[in-house]
Every structure is written in structure tokens, then in C-alpha cells.
Structure 1
Amino acid sequence: MVNRVKAAPLMRGFLMGSLLVLGALGATRVHAADAEASAAASKPEIWINVGGFSRHFNRSANYNESNLGFGIEWRHNPEVAVMAGVYDNSLGKPSQYAAVNWQPWHIGPVKLGAAIGLLNGYPAIERGGTFFAALPMATIEGRRFGVNLGLIPSIGDVDGALLLQFKMKLF
């Protein structure tokens, strides 16, 4: 997913830009109109996943796009989830993540926002160590199953990708 060491400052810049955009848009939050559905959705939920899949924009790079692993997600309320997990990244290396998925915008069943947290396992960023990351995230959750869809934008030496993660609600 990353070509050179120069990507770390770009990722930090993207993180700061994402935070500024999310903060600026925070005043224009869109909520579901149905108060009863909103009250039911405010109960904490635990979700699990077995990693996910990616589709890279640079098709000639031969990235690993089957990013299997294990993750857990605690949805505290309709807007906030805490996520953590491990997976085989796009370089075929093990990665771990811990993030907050803040999704203040709701359009019907779709939640929109960003996942902001810590990630590791990419040798060209912080020598494979831990770094901050942020990416736009959309979520659709049913009674038992859900999907997270993320976007890594192509910035500088970072090859972008779409991320897809299927999940199942435990309770």
C-alpha cells in the first residue's frame, strides 16, 4: 500500500486535514428522523469480523487484496464505535489497528464519518511501527450483519484503495 518512507508526513497531513473537515462539518450533522429507531440503536452492540478485502487503485502493484484476520467492534451509540483487530495487510505483512469510528451523519441506514486511530505493519511508514491514520468510513448495519466501507485516498506515495469489511453482531 505504501511505496516510500515519504508517506509518513503525508499520512499525518491527511489525518490533520480529515480532523479539520470533520470538525467543520460537525455542526451540520444529519440524523435519522425516527426517534424510536434512534432510541433502539443507542443500545451498546458488539460486532466481530474476519478481516476484509481491499481493491487498490494501482492495479499493477500486485497488492494482497484478501486482508483476512480478526476484529472486534463495540458500538457505544449510533455515532461512535471503538474498533480493534489484526489482519494481513496489502503487503502480506501482519498489521494491528485500534481506532474510533466516529459517524455523526446518518442517511437512512447508512452511517458516514471517519475511523481515526493507530495502525502498524507497513515497513515504509515509521519503519513498520505504529502511526496515526484516518480514513473516511461508511457503515450499514442490519439486525445481525453489517458492512464497513473505507477509503484510503491516493496521496503522494500512498496507493489508495477501497476497503470492505463484513461483520456480524454478537449482541
Structure 2
Amino acid sequence: MKTRVWGVFALCAGLVSGVQAAELLSFGGGSLHFERDLGHNEFNYGLGYERDWSEDISWSVGVYKNSIRRATFYGLANWYPWAWDSGIRAGLSGGLMTGYHKSPVIGTLMPTLEWRGERLALQAYVVPTIKPYVDGAVVVQVKYQFRR
């Protein structure tokens, strides 16, 4: 199973390797769950890589410690059809994730809001509740842009 996860990670990284665009590192973040009494881990440290595909599409891959205290590997496509001059943009993120209840790999589609400054960025996702697989939350992560 771990070999397949790393294979998906390598495939996603390879898809973005030929594009000349911004590259960012993400550093996990925090989550606030809708069901407050379930004892979730809300400090979700991790490391990810993101690369712009175009002005409104990016790809991201990474790993973090999820809310049920397991490692989650992910590959996401991020689409931002709405953007404002202030560096804020909104859209959807979707892809595959591991490490959650009842399934080795789950699909996800999440509303996403991002602010990008000169080097730093903040991104917020709304993770939908999909019982019995995922408990919903608002997730915020910090990103650092190391290349344009």
C-alpha cells in the first residue's frame, strides 16, 4: 500500500514538473471541526508542494498528520475561477487522500479560499462531512512561495 501511495505522489509531482510558474511549500496547519466533542487532533502539521499550472489552476501533493492522528498523503487539483486584486481567490480543490476511516483512499472536493502575498500565502478549505469516512472541518494552512 505504501508503495502505491508514493507512486501516486511521484505521478502528481511529475505532472507539474514541466510548468514554468509559481512554486510553493505548504506547512500543514490547523483545523476546526464541526463536531466539537469527537476529540480530534486540530494541529495538523505536515509538508506539501504546490505548483501553478496556469493563472487559475494549481496542483498540490504532500503529507500531514490528520485529525484522527494518522498520516495522510494527498494529491489535489486546485481551481480558482474567482480572483480579486488584493491577492484573494476562491474556488474548489479536489483529489485523493489517504489515512481516513473505512477506506484506504478517499476522493474529496472542497470549497477553497486563498490569499497570496509576495512570498507568504494562506489557504482555507472547507472539508465536508462524509460519514463514516471524514468528519467535516475548516482547515487553514500557511504556504511559502519560493519560486515564481
Deviation of residue 110 (structure 1)? 1.3
Q: Secondary structure at the match of 2:55?
A: coil
The one-letter code matched in structure 2 to 1:71 is G
Higher relative contact order (CA 8 A, sep 6+): 1
Render the CA deviation track for 1:41-77: whole Å, top value 9, x for unaligned: xx61000012111011111111000110110000122
Unaligned runs of 5+ in 1: 1-42
1:123 to 78, 88, 101: 101
TM-score, structure 2 length as denominator? 0.80
Alignment of 1:64-143 (within 5 A): 64-108=41-85, 109-124=87-102, 126=103, 129-143=104-118
User: Matched residues in 2 for 1:156 and 1:94: separation?
Assistant: 19
Residue-pair matches, total: 126
Instruction: State the Cα RMSD in Å.
Output: 1.4
1:99 is paired with a residue whose SS is strand
- Please show how residues 1-171 of structure 1 align to structure 2 within 5 Å: 44-108=21-85, 109-124=87-102, 126=103, 129-157=104-132, 158-171=134-147
Higher strand share: 2
- Give the Cα–Cα distance (whole angstroms) in 2 for the partners of residues 54 and 106 of structure 1: 24
Q: Tell me, in whole angstroms, the C-alpha distance in 2 between the residues paired with 1:52 and 1:72.
A: 14
Runs of 4+ in 1 over 6 A off after TM superposition: none
- Can you give the 5+ residue segments of structure 2 that lack an aligned partner in the other structure? 1-19
Shift of 1:123: 2.6
One-letter code of the match for 1:152? V
Richer in helix (by share)? 1
What code does the residue aligned with 2:88 have? Answer: V
2-structure distance, mates of 1:143, 1:97: 26
The percentage of aligned residue pairs carrying the same residue is 30
Q: TM-score, normalising length from structure 1?
A: 0.69
Q: Secondary structure at the match of 2:37?
A: helix
Shift of 1:152: 1.4
Of the two, which has the highest radius of gyration? 1
CA distance in 1, matches of 2:46, 2:136: 20
